Amino acid sequence: MTDRQRLPARRGALNFEVEHNLRRYTVALGFHDDGRLGEIFVTSTKAGSDSQIVANEAAVLASLLLQFGGDIEGMADAMPRNEDGSPQGIMGAVLDAALLIIPEETETSVPA
């Protein structure tokens, strides 16, 4: 097992929104100094709802996995999918959206 790679107190971040199953979620991604993704936060407009709690818990687990050496591509590939390939759950939708956004944004928005 790899040691946990904690993020610096001040770090680059990227915010965006995802809609899944008719609910809107705000996602914040935090980055290590070298530009690697290190944390994910997910909030919804229905604070305290079951969907918000599940999204928050999944984001905490994904963040820990990233900090212990996991990669976002592997996590996205492991998410359950519908027959059309779309994600079944919010974390799959978050990871898919992040994979589309990160490559184009990290060069200009996230300090390396």
The residue ranges of every structural domain in the chain are 13-107
Non-local CB neighbours of 60 within 8 Å, separated by 6+ positions: none
Q: Which fold has domain 13-107?
A: Enolase-like; domain 1 (3.30.390)
Lowest mean pLDDT among 17-21, 28-32, 57-61, 106-110: 106-110
Instruction: Convert the pLDDT of each residue in 19-42 to its tens digit.
Output: 998 889 999 999 998 888 999 999
